Amino acid sequence: MSSEGDLLHTVTTEHISATRIRTGRAMVWGAAGLFVLLATLQGFHEFERISFGFETWRPVLYAYLIWATALCAAQVIMRGEQGKRTLFVLPAVLFVVSLVVFPLLFGLYISFTDWNLASFDGKKFNGLDNLRQMWADDFYWNALKNMVYYVLAISVEYVIAFGLALLLNAQIRARKFFRVVFLLPLMLSPVAVSWMIGKSMLEVRFGPIARLSRELGWDSPSFFGSPEIARFMIMAMDAWTFIPFMMIMLLAGLQALPKEVMEASKVDGANAWQTFREVIFPLMLPVSVTAVVIRIIFKLKLADIIINVTSGGPGGATDSVTSFIFREYRDRSNVGYGTLLAMVYLVLIVIFITVLLKTVSRWMERPQ
């Protein structure tokens, strides 16, 4: 079988006339010209270089949409069926460019401005001032430090999730029932968890857990009073919500384990611990790594429970980067600085996840 040429087997061999090609090009370049012209005009108008322009950027957006449509149509006009194939991907690419790449670039621009929503003057470019401010911002570094604790807590979550997955994989009574029950916390919104547990069950005066603690001899139970306990409680609530997620992934991995290998280990006389250590755990490494990495990505976004229960307190002990940015952005309308913090966090996440994936890549392959 040939491995070169048209592997997708074009069924029509239509002839594309020079006029069609010219028309297509004219459409693309004409629409692009209109888009660039309007964008430039509006840009000059925004920066008060010229007096005429539009009230909003909306006409530029329309010009972009016209250009995008023309680009897609021109593919078919200029390239026939080859162009139709391009259309399977091109709209998605344009969509991603519009909704991911452009906002990212725009965000990058915003992060180097001093945009405060209360300022009558709007946004002004302020160079590296926001970076300098971040460098001296104890709240941000404190939140980053907390993120390290939160991410480290995943190791404990993993152990619990693995244990539960093993239990639910065993031949226990009412196994299906328990599988559903253990999944329930994952179905709850973290906002609901924070209110039901953080603000109600753990409420110091009338919360049932506080009452039970008093019964057990803790005179004045306080679940969010000291930094350590507060941080632990946040970790516990988050873990309660997301352990089922890791558990279900691990359970799926366990069920996919090759039965022959397990039976072979039994035949060889391995006890339960030896089977787990020598067979199950190594075989489960790829699934484990995937579950942990996805969980880390979830954890890096931790904010809702913190915002609802502690607002980052006491004294910033439970603050996460996201909850801090939320306050900076929402309560202080400090858009420029808040965006910079988010951008820096994005870069840190990209670096961290890249290094992490590189490091764990050798465990990702299931041993043959």
Partner 1 sequence: MKVELYNFIRAAQKMNRRQMLKGTAAVGAMAAMPGAAMADGHSNLRAEILKIPGVGAGSPTDADWQKVGAMVLEPTKANVAEGEFAGVELTFMGLNNQNLHNVLFRGFLKPWEAYTGARINWIDLAQADYNARLQQSIATGTVDFDIIEMGAPFEGDVCGRGLASEMPDWVKDQIEMDDYVGYLQEPVGTWEGKTYRVSIDGDCHNFNYRADYYEDGDLAKAWADEGHSGDWAPPETWQQVQEQTKFLSGKTDPLTGLPAHGYLDPLKGWGGFGFYFLGSRATAYAKHPDDPAFLFDPETMKPRVNNAAWVRAIQDVLDVIDAQPADQINADPGTTGFQQFLAGTGSMLSWWGDIGSSAKTSDSSVVGDVTAFSILPGSDDVWNHAKGEWETLSSGPNYAPNMAYIGWGIYVMARVDGDEKKRKAAWSAAAHLGGKDISLWCSAYPSGFQPYRQSHFNIDEWEEAGYDRAFIEDYLASEADSYNHPNAAIEPRIPGIFQYYSVAEDELAKIYAGQYGSAQEGADAIAAEWEKITDQIGRDSQIKLYRASLGL
Binding site residues, partner 1, CB under 8 A: 56, 114, 116-121, 133, 139, 203-205, 220-225, 227, 230, 309-317, 327, 329-335
Q: Would you list the DSSP string of 77-133?
A: HHHHHHHHHHTTTHHHHHHHIIIIIHHHHHHHHHTTB--BTT-TT---B-TTHHHHH
Nearer to partner 1, 153 or 309 (CB): 309
Q: Cβ 107 to partner 1, closest distance in Å?
A: 15
Residues 226, 314 contacting (CB under 8 angstroms) = yes
Query: How far is it, in rounded angstroms, from Cα 97 to Cα 246?
Result: 32
Nearer to partner 1, 62 or 218 (CB): 218
Nearer to partner 1, 93 or 117 (CB): 117
Reading the block at residue 205, the tokens are 């005066």
- What residue type is 82 in one-letter code? Q
Q: Would you list the DSSP string of 226-295?
A: SHHHHHHHHHHHHHHHHHHHHHHHHHHHHHTS-HHHHHHHHHTT--HHHIIIIIIHHHHHHHHHHHHHHH
Nearer to partner 1, 64 or 224 (CB): 224
Instruction: Give helix 227-255 / helix 281-300 axis angle, nearest 10°.
Output: 140
Query: How far is it, in rounded angstroms, from Cα 156 to Cα 222?
Result: 23
Nearer to partner 1, 260 or 331 (CB): 331
Q: Cβ 221 to partner 1, closest distance in Å?
A: 7
Query: How far is it, in rounded angstroms, from Cα 117 to Cα 120?
Result: 8
Q: Cβ 332 to partner 1, closest distance in Å?
A: 4
Nearer to partner 1, 81 or 203 (CB): 203
Q: Cβ 275 to partner 1, closest distance in Å?
A: 47
